[in-house]
Amino acid sequence: MSLLDVQNLTVSHGGLALVNDISFTVERGQRLGIIGESGSGKTLTALAILGLLADNLSARGSITLDGRPLLGLDEESMCAVRGDNISMIFQEPMTALNPVMRIGRQVAEPLRLHRDLDTDAAMSLAVELLDSVGIEHPERRARSYPHELSGGQRQRAMIAMALACGPDLVIADEPTTALDVTVQAQVLSVLRDQVLAHHTALILITHDLPVVASMTDKVIVLRDGEIVDRGPTGTVFDGASSTYTAELVAAVPPMSRSSIAEAKPEGDAPAGTPLVEVRDVHRQYKLRRTSLFETRPVIKALDGVSVDIYPGETFGIVGESGSGKSTLARLIVGLDRPTSGEVHVDGIDVSAGHSLRPLRDVAQMVFQDPMGSLDPRMRVGEVIAEPLRSLGIAGDHPARVAGLLEAVSLPTDVVDRYPHEFSGGQRQRIAIARALAPGPRLLVADEPVSALDMSVQTVTLELLRELKEQFDLTMIFISHDLSVVHEICERVIVLEHGRIVERGAVGTVFGSPKEPYTRTLVEAIPRLDGSFLTPSSAAR
Amino acid sequence: MSMQEPLLIHEPPKPEQRGRWRRLNFVVGLSIVLGVVATALVSFLWTPFDPELVAADKRLLGMGERGHPLGTDQFGRDLLSQIMVGSQTALFVGILAVTISILIGIPLGGLAAARRGWVEDVVMRFSDVIYAFPPVLLAILLVAAVSPGTASAMVAIGIAYIPIVARVTRGASLSIFERDFVAAARTYGRGKTFIFIRHVLPNIASVLIVQMTILFSLAILAEAALSFLGIGTQPPTPSWGRSLRDAQTFVQITPRLAIWPGFAIALTVLGFNLLGDGVRDALDPRLESSRS
Amino acid sequence: MYVIRRIGVFLFSLILASMLVFGVMSILPGDPAIVILGTRATPEAVESLRQELGLDRPIPVQYADWFSDAIRGDLGESVFTGKAIAPQVVDRLKVTVPLAVFALTLTMLISFPLGVFAASRHRQAGDAVVSVVSQLGLAVPAFWAGLMLVTLFAVRLRWFPASGFPGWGESFFGSVEALILPAIALAIVQSAIITRYVRSAVLETLREEYIRTARSKGLTQSQALWRHGLRNASIPVLTILGLQFGALLAGTVVIESVFVLPGLGKMLLDGISRRDLPLVQGGAFVIVGIILLINLAVDLTYRLLDPRLRSH
């Protein structure tokens, strides 16, 4: 008998089936990956197993744990199952943890609930659990509040909480999507070590194929609420039985396929006068005073950065959160000013902070979040024509808008529609069209594909590449995702804490990194061949 | 690339269920408000009796007696006519007080959100201090310095609500100013004033409209209280609050005189509150949808 | 550090408020001396009164004088009775503050359970009933509720006194009794407002992800609410309680006039009708000072409830 047996599960909202007639099993100690893009129903499946679907959703079919039916179980018995037999790890540990309760109490809570332990006993067990997931100074951390921990520590605490009662099954829903890549590697290896050590079954839900490849034994692929593919992890990705899975596999950038670096031909060394010159730029933010007698603490977002970017190249800026990469982008397009140092774009002194009008014709920007970068109250046509009007560019605006829409492969009749009527990828195309409207020479793209589904990412990258040729652009491409940068950029800088740690041609920097930090970043990338979580590289 | 993203134009699914109740709020609220407005308009042209006509022989008539639907007060004036004309004062005060507060409060709140830093600090400190003056207190000060009357009351109420409008505007604007479409507008050369008017205001309009309906009903309540205290609307202008002041001495004998004007106030305020709730639910589905 | 800065803000606000109180009275048209003596007074009489009141000096000097006295607890003398204002204010506060606290206590006793109840019965009959009742409560003017309560409980049923206040020294229970109806009248409106806030704060909290986490550990919905939700929900509720305290004090001003209670509100109204500007100034300044003090207390209490505010 399987540990978990899901048969003909359907989750519906009104008459609409969001998860449609899916069946799968998980054996004791087995690790199952559920793959799907947004809206595929993967999270709903998890919530249905735990009986935590929202009131307006209903589940049909059968779910049994050790032969005991869970679907239709009364609330009291279901509460006894949750946290004891099945537990869950959520995506965003900052919001999934109670902000006003100490970590130790939160980790101890399932123990007090299911093991009937008193406060002290539960708390000392909680400290042990925190220690076992690699949190340093566990006694002190147990007394901390969630906001006092780093993202990685919070997610480790979530893992400790989920494992507290030694459950038979742990469900992890995109557990590392919100984390930096190096932290992701650490958290995933902790999770894998823990479930292996306790022979706990794992359901890992993610959109990220390489993560699944390195964490699980078998896989199911969900699309629009239905299972389109299933099998042992290796064969599903190699054999690629359905076209959808084949497409997902094809969308994985080469660098995320295997740890054996694929040689990337080095382009010609850049020549001529640089389009963008950044000279010893510092950007500091002052925080509020914490004491009367000390000076105000300062955050150094950028700490002495110099870089030249030449016409026609695609230049990558990579770094983890807080590295200063977005600050650098904002300085280049004149959204912010450096504390010291100079930024010149096409001979215009951007760091002066005034008379930036000429810069607007030269440099435009594409933002990360396609939801937030378009004014929801403006029609698409107005959105794209706005820069033309603002900059007083003469000419036949409707015709130019139509031309731009065509360039980003959108039908020209969408001009009268509002942004919310489009999907994320389409919205990003509209944002790109708007950025191209004034006819810029420099396009600064800040994480332009990070909020998009994997398959949409590939298409959008392809589009950016084509537009760069068509409009003869210089592009600055900012991302946390090394494999995307590897695919699209020629030269790259790696930022850490506001400093450039390494620079050079992409193939060289990522293929044979000289600096330890770059090496850590490269090694932390999950690979489709499952090779990233080898004991040697899964360092703390 | 073989994978073209399907071009599907999709509407976000509208959360159902919030349907009937919510619409009921809106419909009832709107009907009451329209009813009050209609009454005020009609009372300019016609009332059953002259609301200010004092008649010694008709003092304290009961409901329906001698053709007075709600009876008469201690001076023999027709109660229904007085209540009808009182709606003019209520709406007038509401409109002016709300206008004063938004004309000053919205630019202030927008300025604070757009400029941040010390400008924001100064604006918010000031509005915090004004906020410590409840409308009734501000009116008392103003009346002590100038003279009692509808105008003092309206100005006092309007000023007292400036910090509320400024606060709401700032709070709502801040999150909009953080959005990337504002940064995008700056990269193509739009100034902050243009951005505030063209991009931010339309996106916070629903919040402001809801706030205005709430302030409208608060202003009506405040005017009633001031007139009840004798420092608001002065005779002979009829006002619901003043009718209650007049009724106070007779309330032990004829509670009717206190019931009807109070009922008029409560109904009008209820109307505006329901309208505000209805508008909010219609414009902001997030507030009531229960996704957990 | 935060505490020091917050107290600084409080003092700054207090000064600003005092300027406003003083400024409204001095800058607006109308010579207090003429106001006091009437328009038929001789110019000589007006001039001598102006000198007596110090009105012939520049306004900033007058303000500095008034403020430096005020912070030392001297609010000047009433132009009508000639008595010192500060002791009168203290006397009046003995009615107004207990009334406000009484009303606030009633408000919390009514609105907290009702709001939590409505939120936990979201979209069910119980929630709908609470919504309708609170909607009605919002629409009722407090002073009218007072009038109706007097008519019903004092005049018809004779359970409580209709008006007056014996004084705490005279009769403690008589004094409490005299405050019951006014407190209820104030609490009706305030409870309606606070109930709605409690309800939406709890609903908002129930949608948070940490509630789902708590459920995934095996807590029932109500356990999750009590152990994880309420402390989080209390943060926005505290804000609104603090903000509403000002409205409550203003409400006492009005309600005192319905029940003929010798509180601060009655004093202010008497001051207006007698054109006693220093009295109105002093009374208003004290009320604003109390409201600013409450805001300070609320901001400091925040930090106890929300650890995120403590660590920077």
Rounded distance, CA B168 to CA B177, Å? 14
Chain A nearest-CA residue for C230: A100
CB A465 within 8 A of CB A291: no
- pLDDT at residue B291 in the model: 28
Residue B31: inside a domain? no
Distance between the two ends of chain A, CA-based, in angstroms? 37
Rounded distance, CA B243 to CA B79, Å? 9
- pLDDT at residue B17 in the model: 46
Residue B63: inside a domain? no
DSSP assignments along chain C, one per residue: -HHHHHHHHHHHHHHHHHHHHHHHHHHSSS-HHHHHH-TTS-HHHHHHHHHHHTTTS-HHHHHHHHHHHHHTT---B-TTT--BHHHHHHHHHHHHHHHHHHHHHHHHHHHHHHHHHHHHTTTSHHHHHHHHHHHHHHHS-HHHHHHHHIIIIIIIS--S-SS----TTT-HHHHHHHHHHHHHHHHHHHHHHHHHHHHHHHHHHHTSHHHHHHHHTT--HHHHIIIIIHHHHHHHHHHHHHHHHHHHHHHHHHHHHHHT--SHHHHHHHHHHTT-HHHHHHHHHHHHHHHHHHHHHHHHHHHHH-HHHH--
Domains held by chain B: number = 1
Residues of A in contact with B18 (CB under 8 A): none
Residue C306: inside a domain? no
CATH number for the domain spanning C237: value is: 1.10.3720.10
Q: Cα dist. B108→A285, B119, B183, C243 in Å?
A: 26, 10, 21, 20
Whether residue C138 sits in one domain with residue C198: yes
Which residues share a beta bridge with A32? Answer: A203, A218
Chains that touch B (3 or more CB pairs under 8 A): A, C
Residue C186: inside a domain? yes
Q: How many CB pairs under 8 A join A and C?
A: 85
Question: Are C287 and B137 in contact (CB < 8 Å)?
Answer: yes
Chain B nearest-CA residue for C13: B129
Q: Point out the residues of chain C with pLDDT beneath 70.
A: 27-39, 53, 311-312
Radius of gyration of chain A (CA): 25
DSSP code, position A195:
H
Distance from CA of C225 to the nearest CA of B (A): 13
Residue B3: inside a domain? no
Residues of B in contact with A369 (CB under 8 A): 180
Is B202 touching A (CB cutoff 8 A)? yes
Is B286 touching A (CB cutoff 8 A)? no
CB A307 within 8 A of CB A500: yes
Question: Are A373 and B9 in contact (CB < 8 Å)?
Answer: no
Residue B10: inside a domain? no
Chain B nearest-CA residue for A374: B181
Whether residue C198 sits in one domain with residue C54: no
Whether residue C222 sits in one domain with residue C104: yes
Would you call A414 helix, strand, or coil by DSSP? helix
Tokens 């306004």 appear where? Answer: C59
Distance from CA of A422 to the nearest CA of B (A): 5
Question: Are C218 and A82 in contact (CB < 8 Å)?
Answer: yes
Question: Are B290 and C271 in contact (CB < 8 Å)?
Answer: no
Question: Are B184 and A356 in contact (CB < 8 Å)?
Answer: no
Residues of A in contact with C215 (CB under 8 A): 50, 52, 82
Distance from CA of B14 to the nearest CA of C (A): 17
Question: Are A376 and B203 in contact (CB < 8 Å)?
Answer: yes
- pLDDT at residue C311 in the model: 63
Whether residue C121 sits in one domain with residue C25: no
- pLDDT at residue C274 in the model: 81
Residue B218: inside a domain? yes
**Residue B189: which of A250, A391, A414 has the nearest Cβ?**
A391
Rounded distance, CA B187 to CA B195, Å? 12
Residue B228: inside a domain? yes
Domain that residue C137 falls in: 93-273
Tokens 């449609």 appear where? Answer: A20
**Residue C217: which of A75, A83, A290 has the nearest Cβ?**
A83
Question: Are C253 and B267 in contact (CB < 8 Å)?
Answer: no
Residues of B in contact with A420 (CB under 8 A): 11-12
CB C245 within 8 A of CB A122: no
Whether residue C203 sits in one domain with residue C133: yes
Whether residue C99 sits in one domain with residue C65: no
Chain B nearest-CA residue for C136: B270
Mutate to test the interface with A, among B180, B194, B200, B286 (most CBs of A within 10 A): B180
CB A383 within 8 A of CB A420: no
Residue B51: inside a domain? no
Which of B153, B185, B171, B181 minimizes the C-alpha distance to B108?
B171
Question: Are A84 and C209 in contact (CB < 8 Å)?
Answer: no
Chain B nearest-CA residue for A360: B188
Structure tokens at B5: 């993203």
Whether residue C133 sits in one domain with residue C222: yes
* Final residue belonging to a domain, choices C70, C101, C129: C70
Question: Are B259 and C148 in contact (CB < 8 Å)?
Answer: yes
Question: Are A288 and C305 in contact (CB < 8 Å)?
Answer: no
Whether residue C140 sits in one domain with residue C54: no
Rounded distance, CA C71 to CA C66, Å? 9
CATH number for the domain spanning B192: value is: 1.10.3720.10
- pLDDT at residue A530 in the model: 74
Whether residue C116 sits in one domain with residue C43: no
Residue B7: inside a domain? no
Distance from CA of C204 to the nearest CA of A (A): 13
Residues of A in contact with B17 (CB under 8 A): 56
Is A291 touching C (CB cutoff 8 A)? yes
A507: Cα separation from own chain's centroid: 23
Series of mean pLDDT values for 10-residue runs along chain A (540 residues): 93 89 94 90 93 89 93 91 94 90 94 91 94 92 92 93 94 90 90 92 92 91 91 80 83 78 63 89 82 76 93 93 91 92 92 82 91 90 93 90 94 91 91 94 93 87 94 94 91 94 91 90 85 47
Domain that residue B204 falls in: 80-284
Cβ–Cβ contacts within 10 Å for residue B18, how many? 17
Give the helix/strand (H/E) hosting A381: helix A380-390
**Residue C144: which of B140, B146, B244 has the nearest Cβ?**
B244
The structure's pTM equals: 0.84
Would you call A58 helix, strand, or coil by DSSP? strand
Question: Are B184 and A373 in contact (CB < 8 Å)?
Answer: yes
Question: Are B7 and A377 in contact (CB < 8 Å)?
Answer: no
Which of B287, B285, B258, B290 minimizes the C-alpha distance to B82?
B258
Distance from CA of C299 to the nearest CA of B (A): 13
Rounded distance, CA C286 to CA B140, Å? 14
Rounded distance, CA B99 to CA B158, Å? 7
pLDDT tens, N- to C-terminus, chain B (292 residues): 333 333 333 333 334 445 566 678 889 999 999 999 998 898 888 877 777 777 777 676 677 677 767 777 777 777 888 888 888 888 999 999 999 999 999 999 999 999 888 888 889 888 888 988 988 888 888 887 777 788 888 888 999 999 999 999 999 999 899 899 999 999 998 989 999 999 999 999 888 988 899 899 999 999 999 988 888 888 778 888 888 888 777 777 777 778 888 899 999 999 999 998 888 777 764 443 332 2
Whether residue C218 sits in one domain with residue C106: yes
Whether residue C116 sits in one domain with residue C215: yes
**Residue A377: which of B7, B9, B202 has the nearest Cβ?**
B202
Domains held by chain C: number = 2
**Residue A79: which of C212, C220, C307 has the nearest Cβ?**
C220
Structure tokens at A504: 């050079």
Chains that touch C (3 or more CB pairs under 8 A): A, B
Give me the helix-helix angle, A119-132 and A151-163, nearest 10°: 120
CB A434 within 8 A of CB A402: no
Q: How many CB pairs under 8 A join B and C?
A: 152
Whether residue C64 sits in one domain with residue C106: no
